[in-house]
Structure 1
Amino acid sequence: MSPDIVNDQIKLIADSVLTNIIADIRKVHWFSIIADEATDVSNKEQLTVCIRWVDDDFCIYEDPIELIQLPKTDAETITRELKSCLGKHVLPIAQCRGQAYDGASNMSGHLNGVAARIEKDVPAALYLHCFAHCTNLCLQTVGRKCVVVRDALDLVMEISQLIRFSPKRSTLFSDVQKELGACSVSLKPLCPTRWTVRTAAVSAVLSNYSNLLAALEQINAETHDDYGRKAGGYLAQMDKFSTFFGLKLAHLIFSGTEQLSLTLQGKDTTIQEAVNATELAVKYLTRLRSDSTFVDFYSKTVEEAKELTSDPVLPRYRRPPHRIDDGEAPVLFSDPKSYFKQQYFEILDLLVNELKRRFQQKRGLPVMSVLEKTLLDSANGKFCALELPEEFDIYNSDLDLSRLKIQLTMLPDLITTHNTNSKVPIKKVTNVRTICDIINEPGKVMFSEVIKLLKIFYTLPVTTSTAERSFSALRRLKTFLRSTMSQSRLNHTFITFIHKERTDSVDEKDIAKTFISANDKRRKYFGNV
């Protein structure tokens, strides 16, 4: 078949899949926009658009619907393209109830960003900065400010590139592993953008520390070029205790925050679960910030480093230049332990403060928190029926607020009725999902406004992880050997690749009929199907 015929068939399948998705979204009335940008292999800026929606059973869906090639990445262009995309798929922007982007100024600017421009047209389209992206930015800031962690991470990246990018050096490292028999874990690449997945790379270097020392020494002795000199420099750096301490400290920090990131990347994650996970991570880091915890950590690190590095020493004191010297007495440390204690406490303080600062969003988060609190208080019998919080005013067109107040006051009775018929009674409602499960039970049809409120609550996105995952699909589809494919073909293959289950359920006979009926030549050749 010719490329044109293949493209026609892919287009028909993609259109069928996309038509079914859009039809399901229209049934539920409300949706949210999730968007993110990336550069493809042909150096073109691609904007992926995902729609988040909730069905009648409170199941959450996040469906990528289009890749848009952007001529410019300014807020005006992106806003225009997003509105055009929604209009093309007959999704009224007036029904948008949430937005999730990264924290770039063109997306999140409070005056002329994409979120602000859409909020001017639709005040109920609340914007939330992706929580997973916030976590990544926190670690990025901390990793650059703490000296020992910054130097250790740079070393991990350099060593990984030195070993992994050369078949000869990779083989040499594997031979050293087999000879010493200390560890068989391979080195992992250090992701330059996703700081929350660096634990594996740091852990691999720590596990292979003795192997790396032997391999670098051999490379330095046998290789007489730039790589040999680099190996010698890395070897000298790994011989320092500060490097080993920085690796252990980075592993301690990243392993804890990686669990937070994994929680925030789920599409079913609600604002309540995201906030709780963040608070739990802050408590964990705060608990680490104690003298006893540091003493244990430092003692174990010194013990492990005895046969791997030199003894701990204080860094050489350098006088600041006169132009920046303010005349204050310099901070001098009495021993190496006090210096490393300062580094340990500094990174924990920086990270805790960054998490608190970045997760205190002043736009969509307060409204989402009020919705959640109102639902939970109502279910536990703490709701005052006199008036709803003022944050509900933006939903005047979506909810009958007078009926909603009555139904919220009746929620405790619904919980009581459930307890009488259940073997495991509910003492206190602490999760909005519990209300959804009870309302979903047969016969609970008198809480229409509460159901609408729950759908709006779950429609609000917390993360842009689905949009970011779609870039993995883009990387598989548009490769170096297929870098010149048209935007139309890219979109059609993208839709069929992402939505595999819907693609498998497409009626092949309907596709064949549509394909044949496209022109007279096909009808004469194939006949009636």
Structure 2
Amino acid sequence: MTVSAQEGSPIDSQLSSALAQQQEDARYCLQNIVGSIQYLSRQGIALRGHETKDELKRQHPLALYVHCGAHCLNLIAQSACRASPLINDSLQWTVRGKAIRAVLSQYERVLSSLEEMASSGSNTGMRANVLRERFEKGKTIPHQRKPPKRFTSEASQHIPKSAEEHYRTEFYKMLDSVHIQSEERFNQPDLNVLQKLEETLLTGEVNDIVDQYPELNRDILKVQLAMFRSKYTVKSSVEVAEIMRGLTVEVRGLFDQVESLIRLLLVIPVASAEAERSFSALRRLKTWLRTTMTQVRLNNLAVCHVHQETLDNIDLKEIYQQFISVTERRRHVFGSFK
């Protein structure tokens, strides 16, 4: 900080004026920095800077990781479509409903046009004739390529005898894929833990899973569940939670172990579909040029980018004051915001 000598003005007044000017300049720079971060977060531009499931389980062994149910169903549907090319092609045609309805409404004219094209005798006419025959025949068996001999050896290729047999085979391939994927996707160890906890809550039979949680006492929980089930009949953990909310504080204190068990069940989300809607923003946030960004910074940036309305309503002066109040040097450099 430099102070130019001014005649007729005390030196302490000049120092105070220079310090105030310096603090004002520092506050202006701080405002620009915070504003730039806010703008970059809205635009999805990452700043330079990995907590994973395994790391979380290492630090908190009782933390349960349950894969999103909606995402599991989505993966099952994708696998079923890949199992049968026929189903995959059919789903692609479902988005062309207007085109299909237009063909059906003009079906006779389409046939007459194909017949007229087939009479020309050209290559186009031959293709039109084949297409017209398929239109008139209705259900047909798609052309199947012969598999390589390294897969079939000397065995003959299976050829369905009718269209019904062909479509029945494709249908059962899809059902088989759905069955296998459902067992694999929903057979999760942590999901089984939640299932056993819920069975304890609904049946009153305390199992060994309860002993893993220090906030639960096996004997007291068994007694409280017997008292609770003798007065209320419930079929789901949601009903138990609604009953507990309706109880007074004094009565709820009699079922403190039941309340703790309900809290353990309710902290695990059934699905993360709402959070996964923000996945489309990842392509804008983490590009090939920003691969050095860590998971923690990516999470913080994604929260700011997805919740832009909340970001706009943040009181920036409060952030400035929190930043300044950390150390004495910052209070001396920036002063205070009014």
Calculate the TM-score normalised by the size of structure 1: 0.43
* Whole-Å separation in 2 of the counterparts to 1:241 and 1:352: 38
* Whole-Å separation in 1 of the counterparts to 2:165 and 2:67: 38
Note if 1:334 corresponds to 2:272: no
Is the contact between residue 201 and residue 237 of structure 2 (CA under 8 Å) also seen in structure 1? yes
* Whole-Å separation in 2 of the counterparts to 1:512 and 1:327: 79
* Whole-Å separation in 1 of the counterparts to 2:226 and 2:133: 63
Note if 1:325 corresponds to 2:152: yes
Residues 5-29 of structure 1, C-alpha deviations (whole Å, 9 max, x = no match)? 33325769xxxxxxxxxxxxxxxxx
Match of 1:393 in 2: 211
Residues 259-288 of structure 1, C-alpha deviations (whole Å, 9 max, x = no match)? xxxxxxxxxxxxxxxxxxxxxxxxxxxxxx
Structure 1 residue 369: deviation in Å? 0.7
Match of 1:465 in 2: 273
Q: 1:508-519 alignment to 2 at 5 Å?
A: 510-511=318-319, 513-514=321-322, 518=330
Match of 2:12 in 1: none
Match of 2:99 in 1: 208
Residues 138-192 of structure 1, C-alpha deviations (whole Å, 9 max, x = no match)? 2222212212123455xx4xxxxxxxxxxxxxxxxxxxxxxxxxxxxxxxxxxxx
Match of 1:313 in 2: 140
Q: Which amino acid aligns with 2:199?
A: K
> Sequence identity, in percent?
26
Match of 1:142 in 2: 80
Distance 1:516 1:357, change over 3 A: closer
Q: 1:410-429 alignment to 2 at 5 Å?
A: 410-415=227-232, 428-429=233-234
Secondary structure of the corresponding residue to residue 323 of structure 1: helix
Match of 1:439 in 2: 244
* Whole-Å separation in 1 of the counterparts to 2:271 and 2:153: 44
Residues 328-356 of structure 1, C-alpha deviations (whole Å, 9 max, x = no match)? 45433222232223222332332233223
Is the contact between residue 143 and residue 150 of structure 1 (CA under 8 Å) also seen in structure 2? yes
Q: Which amino acid aligns with 1:458?
A: L
* Whole-Å separation in 2 of the counterparts to 1:500 and 1:8: 15
* Whole-Å separation in 2 of the counterparts to 1:313 and 1:451: 62
Structure 1 residue 394: deviation in Å? 1.4
Is the contact between residue 83 and residue 173 of structure 2 (CA under 8 Å) also seen in structure 1? no
Q: 1:183-262 alignment to 2 at 5 Å?
A: 202-209=93-100
* Whole-Å separation in 2 of the counterparts to 1:490 and 1:334: 57
Distance 1:528 1:136, change over 3 A: closer
Structure 1 residue 463: deviation in Å? 3.4
Instruction: Indicate which of 362, 370, 392 corresponds to 2:196.
Output: 370
* Structure 1, unaligned runs of 5 or more: 13-39, 45-66, 70-80, 83-113, 157-201, 218-231, 243-305, 378-382, 416-427
Residues 381-416 of structure 1, C-alpha deviations (whole Å, 9 max, x = no match)? xx35xxx21122211x2222222222111112442x
Is the contact between residue 241 and residue 312 of structure 1 (CA under 8 Å) also seen in structure 2? no
Secondary structure of the corresponding residue to residue 138 of structure 1: helix
Secondary structure of the corresponding residue to residue 447 of structure 1: helix
Match of 1:450 in 2: 258
After superposition, the CA RMSD in angstroms is 4.5
Secondary structure of the corresponding residue to residue 65 of structure 2: strand
Q: Which amino acid aligns with 1:454?
A: I
Is the contact between residue 10 and residue 492 of structure 1 (CA under 8 Å) also seen in structure 2? no
* Whole-Å separation in 2 of the counterparts to 1:11 and 1:448: 45
Distance 1:500 1:445, change over 3 A: farther
Distance 1:446 1:390, change over 3 A: same
Is the contact between residue 118 and residue 125 of structure 1 (CA under 8 Å) also seen in structure 2? yes
Larger Rg: 2
* Whole-Å separation in 1 of the counterparts to 2:257 and 2:30: 50
Match of 2:7 in 1: none
Q: Which amino acid aligns with 2:148?
A: P
Match of 1:130 in 2: 68
* Structure 2, unaligned runs of 5 or more: 1-26, 111-123
Is the contact between residue 367 and residue 391 of structure 1 (CA under 8 Å) also seen in structure 2? yes
Note if 1:359 corresponds to 2:250: no
Which 10-residue stretch deviates more, 121-130 or 366-375? 121-130
Is the contact between residue 202 and residue 234 of structure 2 (CA under 8 Å) also seen in structure 1? yes
Distance 1:8 1:316, change over 3 A: closer
Structure 1 residue 212: deviation in Å? 8.7
Q: Which amino acid aligns with 1:450?
A: V
Q: Which amino acid aligns with 1:353?
A: I
Match of 2:226 in 1: 409
* Whole-Å separation in 2 of the counterparts to 1:432 and 1:339: 46
Structure 1 residue 455: deviation in Å? 0.8
Q: 1:464-483 alignment to 2 at 5 Å?
A: 464-474=272-282, 478=285
Distance 1:442 1:68, change over 3 A: farther
* Whole-Å separation in 1 of the counterparts to 2:177 and 2:144: 24
Calculate the TM-score normalised by the size of structure 2: 0.63
* Whole-Å separation in 2 of the counterparts to 1:343 and 1:331: 13
Q: Which amino acid aligns with 1:401?
A: R
Structure 1 residue 370: deviation in Å? 0.8
Secondary structure of the corresponding residue to residue 141 of structure 2: coil
Structure 1 residue 466: deviation in Å? 4.3
Is the contact between residue 130 and residue 464 of structure 1 (CA under 8 Å) also seen in structure 2? yes
Structure whose residues are more often strand by fraction: 1
Structure whose residues are more often helix by fraction: 2
Is the contact between residue 10 and residue 493 of structure 1 (CA under 8 Å) also seen in structure 2? no
Secondary structure of the corresponding residue to residue 254 of structure 2: coil
